[in-house]
Chains A and B, each alone.
Chain A
Amino acid sequence: MNNPLRRLAAMTIVMFVVLMGGATWVQYVKAPELNNDSRNVRTLYREYDNDRGPIVIGGEPVASSSPVDDSFGYLRSYSAGALYAPATGYYSVIYGRSGIEEAMNTELNGSADSLFYTRIQDLITGRQPQGAAVELTIDPAVQQAAWDALGDQRGAVVAVDPTTGAILAMVSKPSYDPNVLASHDTAAVQDAWASLLADPDDPLVNRAIAGPTYPPGSTFKLVTAAAALESGLTPETPVAAPDELDLPQSSAVLTNYGGSSCSSTGAMTLQDALRISCNTAFGQIGLNLGSDALREQADAFGFDESISVPLAVTPSRFPADGEIDEPQTALAAIGQYDVRATPLEIAMISATIANGGERMTPYLVKSVRSANLTVVDSTEPQVAGRAVSATTAANLTEMMLAVVENGTGTAAQIPGVAVAGKTGTAQTTDDAAPHAWFTGFAPADDPKVAVAVVVENGGDLGNEATGGHVAAPIARAVIEAALGSGS
């Protein structure tokens, strides 16, 4: 009976080897896949039971984790509620993360590669691991001014430092309170989530960078003007400005705002055309330049480009070659037809002009500091490319100063400060009120801030709204705050 016993012994060894193989398969080979399974609450608990680093704005934590006595261990809270929600995003046990909470997740939870040495230190010193702090470029005063000035209107405000690309304000309204979603009361979170999703105004959408991109309207004339100047025109060059522009290949005509007349002579200088935002003049310029030149200039300002700040920014769009014919080119030259832009992109156009034609890469994260306050990463300003020559930028600045001085943007005037700007009133659909735009920068001689404001469907003024009436005063408040001259 010893032979079968020995064979049985060999078989039991095989059985155990198979078991060891099975355990290795599950715990080593398949472990990453299993750990990432969306049904694996264990990963969720471990993720949330973590002393997550704060998100810091202006030296103050605006999102921070504090220990609580439940199965998650830590509760995320947002001290300023809805104000910074478009930037910070939410951090929900049920619905995951958004905004910086998502984009900088590995830094905040301490698992990023850049925090490797911090983790080793924690291991050696036996300190409880802690996530890194992420400091944003947002200036609380500018953010608050933009928030207050926008009021209850739907829209967005973006302010950037033209010399660096640092985003100083990012407001999107309506906003939401991320504290509600960060709660550990799952029933309440589910209710709040359902009502946020059901809200027709889409409070969860960050209109500043990732909303349903807007037609830029007359703010796009800056791009058309830039292309014209680059092609050899000067601000003093006379351009045709008829009351009605016949669009080629069609029976349609392009008219000016409210059917008004730009010039009694049917011609005016390029500077005046921008100052009073003459549609027919820019339509004709667009026809003269052609869609390729417009697209090239738009792309030089950052259209059709995917960036992340590190929040993903929806690419602004100029119709591709073959998608646009001549009459549509005339419409595109005034920011209509299929031209679409994010408020950040429009702000970057002003910022680029302010920065002498050199476009900076916009960014939201200033630095990452480990829990022991060592800076492990900081963003260096980066040049994205040159959009226009310094001369063109200087010419555009002069023209934009005229817009605010005695053109459509007088509401943005600030005593003692040279404000350069451009208004926009973008048609949407026939039955909806137009979007009101304003973009600009100040001071013109030493730019500190560039801004873009969009108020959806005219805001409080509805059909009566223009960029000059509705958006320019908001831009003024933001610029005042940024220059420290706000009251």
Chain B
Amino acid sequence: MATVAPQRTRPGRGTELALLVPALAVGIGAYALVGLGTAGELPPGLLGFAAGLTALAVGVHLVLRWRAPFADPVLLPTAVAINGLGLAMIRRIDVAYAARDRVTDFAGRQMGWTALGMVLAVAVIVLLRDHRTLRRYTYTAMVIGLVLLVLPLVPGLGTEINGARIWIQVFGGSFQPAELAKIVLAIFFAGYLVTNRDTLALAGPKVLGLQLPRLRDLGPILLAWAVALLVLVGERDLGTSLLFFGLFVAMLYLATERLSWVVIGLVLFAGGAALAASTFGHVAARFEAWLHAFDNDVFNASPGGSGQLVRGLFGLASGGLFGTGLGQGRPDLVPFAESDFIVASVGEELGLTGLLAILVCYLILTERGLRTAIGVRDGFGKLLAGGLAFTIAFQSFVVVGGVTRLIPLTGLTMPFLAYGGSSLISNWIVVALLLRISDHARRPADLAPPSNQGSSADDQLTERITVRAPDAPGGAR
């Protein structure tokens, strides 16, 4: 294993501030256009919206200057842009619902969640001085993560909404604990794998040219698989199950560099999904709605039909290349246009052009996260940043792939874009963690904070190579 040679990097806070200008312009401009497109005039709350979003973004920027001056300058503006656009789109859907006498204030609540998410991001940056501290809580994180994952199954606490049991009732509101669980479990996986990667990478039998791990090391992946299946069956949630298992397999691969883990993971998941599809009606219905979406019987079936999916496709199609324009389409014709199907709403009003631009934003978020993972020197940080960045890409893939009928529809939310407090808060914490790790990664060595107690274990994993050397095969194993 080789690390990228530390090089003098500019802290990048100036770049970040400059990038925040177009990022804020996207959100605020879209919000103004929603008013112009629906009522023909600027929306009444435009100034407050612009001031609030700007204050929050600049606030995070200032905290970064203070506490993480070397943090990646692209992450924050990208997240602000997507979040702002999502707020405008949700506002637009509120207006569309109002036109049909359905009074909603999704946008108002989402603004509250945005503020809370960004405040929590600031808290993470301020309180977590060094991400390696988190490694101390590896097994605590495991317990918390598993509890969060199965919390919706607790009678009296979990609630079933639209067939999926992934919400819990707290403080009179519903919360999706799986969103937080993905962060906590990423911490656990990173901590666990960085300790056990050498064992898991040991060679076992060779089958069909594929170097399999030793059979006795299959325990962890089987456990993760069992939990994923439990979530799939108990909570009827293909998405969370897929995300949880995908995250584990991806991080396992990152830690061991063994492709065999990925193959085993895929085989296990495919087998589990096939088993579930043949055993449980709701999983089979998902596949049926995917494969035969345009059959009239499947289209009209309720619940479990393809009506929502196909209506989303209709919305996307009516957007065409350039979209109807904000406020000019009919996103409200798709059920859950503000949350599960916000991608269809965006695709309808902003067109293929707008949707591709947003996908590029997610790609940037992912790649800057992975870049952080490559840059950071400790194995735990690499795994954590890599895993978190991967969740953004994976979640986008599962959601957009589901809406565009590339894969069966699952119940995940589009990070930063979709309505939902749990998702928004969790993703701001993800970005905060990536910012924190990137500050560590990009900070010149001579400015690095003194290693604390917890990081001493990393020393054996961290090479202090300062020359740019080609990766030596098996060098660090």
Contacts of A41 in B (CB 8 A): 314, 333
Contacting residues of chain B (287-343) with chain A, CB-CB under 8 angstroms:
294, 299, 310, 313-321, 329-330, 333
A27 at the interface (CB under 8 A from B): yes
Are B255 and A1 touching (Cβ within 8 A)? Answer: yes
CB-contact partner of B314 in A1, A5, A6, A37, under 8 A: A37
Contacting residues of chain A (66-80) with chain B, CB-CB under 8 angstroms:
71
Contacts of A40 in B (CB 8 A): 314, 317-318
Are A24 and B352 touching (Cβ within 8 A)? Answer: yes
Are A5 and B373 touching (Cβ within 8 A)? Answer: yes
Stretch at the interface among B69-77, B79-87, B363-371, B427-435: B363-371
Contacts of B120 in A (CB 8 A): none
A-B contact pairs, 17 of them (CB 8 A): A2-B2, A2-B3, A2-B471, A8-B254, A9-B367, A12-B367, A15-B394, A15-B397, A18-B397, A20-B359, A26-B316, A26-B347, A27-B351, A27-B355, A31-B320, A41-B314, A43-B318
Whole-angstrom distance between the Cβ of A51 and the nearest chain B Cβ = 15
Known: A8-B250, A16-B393. A27 touches B319 (CB 8 A): yes
Contacting residues of chain B (375-389) with chain A, CB-CB under 8 angstroms:
379, 382-383, 386, 389
B99 at the interface (CB under 8 A from A): yes
Are A5 and B374 touching (Cβ within 8 A)? Answer: yes
Known: A13-B363, A22-B406, A43-B318. A4 touches B257 (CB 8 A): yes
A35 at the interface (CB under 8 A from B): yes
Known: A13-B363, A27-B351. A19 touches B401 (CB 8 A): yes
What residues make up the interface of A, taking CB atoms closer than 8 Å to B? 1-6, 8-9, 12-13, 15-16, 18-20, 22-28, 30-35, 37, 39-43, 45-46, 71
- List 8 extra interface pairs beyond A3-B257, A16-B366, A19-B406, CB under 8 A: A2-B1, A5-B373, A6-B374, A12-B393, A22-B404, A22-B406, A23-B404, A24-B352
Contacts of B404 in A (CB 8 A): 19, 22-23, 25-26
Known: A2-B4, A16-B363. A23 touches B356 (CB 8 A): yes
Number of A-B contacts (CB under 8 A): 146
Q: How far apart are the CA atoms of A23 and B406 in the complex, in Å? A: 9
CB-contact partner of A3 in B319, B329, B366, B471, under 8 A: B471
B225 at the interface (CB under 8 A from A): no
Q: How far apart are the CA atoms of A45 and B99 in the complex, in Å? A: 14
Whole-angstrom distance between the Cβ of A37 and the nearest chain B Cβ = 7
B413 at the interface (CB under 8 A from A): no
Are B253 and A8 touching (Cβ within 8 A)? Answer: yes
CB-contact partner of A1 in B250, B317, B318, B379, under 8 A: B379
Q: How far apart are the CA atoms of A43 and B4 in the complex, in Å? A: 54
Whole-angstrom distance between the Cβ of B392 and the nearest chain A Cβ = 9
Contacts of A46 in B (CB 8 A): 318, 330
Contacts of A45 in B (CB 8 A): 330, 333
Are A26 and B1 touching (Cβ within 8 A)? Answer: no
B31 at the interface (CB under 8 A from A): no
Contacts of A2 in B (CB 8 A): 1-4, 374, 382, 471
Contacts of B1 in A (CB 8 A): 1-2
Closest 7 A/B residue pairs (Cβ): A34-B317, A22-B404, A31-B317, A12-B393, A27-B352, A22-B406, A40-B314
B405 at the interface (CB under 8 A from A): yes
Are B370 and A5 touching (Cβ within 8 A)? Answer: yes
Are A35 and B318 touching (Cβ within 8 A)? Answer: yes
Are A1 and B405 touching (Cβ within 8 A)? Answer: no
B419 at the interface (CB under 8 A from A): no
Contacts of B366 in A (CB 8 A): 9, 12, 16
Known: A1-B383, A12-B390, A18-B406. A27 touches B255 (CB 8 A): no
Whole-angstrom distance between the Cβ of A119 and the nearest chain B Cβ = 15
B100 at the interface (CB under 8 A from A): yes
Considering the complex, give the chain A residue whose CB is closest to the CB of B334: A42
Known: A15-B393, A23-B404. A1 touches B363 (CB 8 A): no
Considering the complex, give the chain A residue whose CB is closest to the CB of B393: A12
Contacts of A15 in B (CB 8 A): 393-394, 396-397
Are B321 and A1 touching (Cβ within 8 A)? Answer: no
Q: How far apart are the CA atoms of A40 and B348 in the complex, in Å? A: 14
Contacts of A23 in B (CB 8 A): 316, 347, 352, 355-356, 359, 400, 404
Known: A4-B257, A27-B351. A9 touches B356 (CB 8 A): no
Q: How far apart are the CA atoms of A16 and B362 in the complex, in Å? A: 9
Q: How far apart are the CA atoms of A34 and B315 in the complex, in Å? A: 9
Contacts of A71 in B (CB 8 A): 99-100
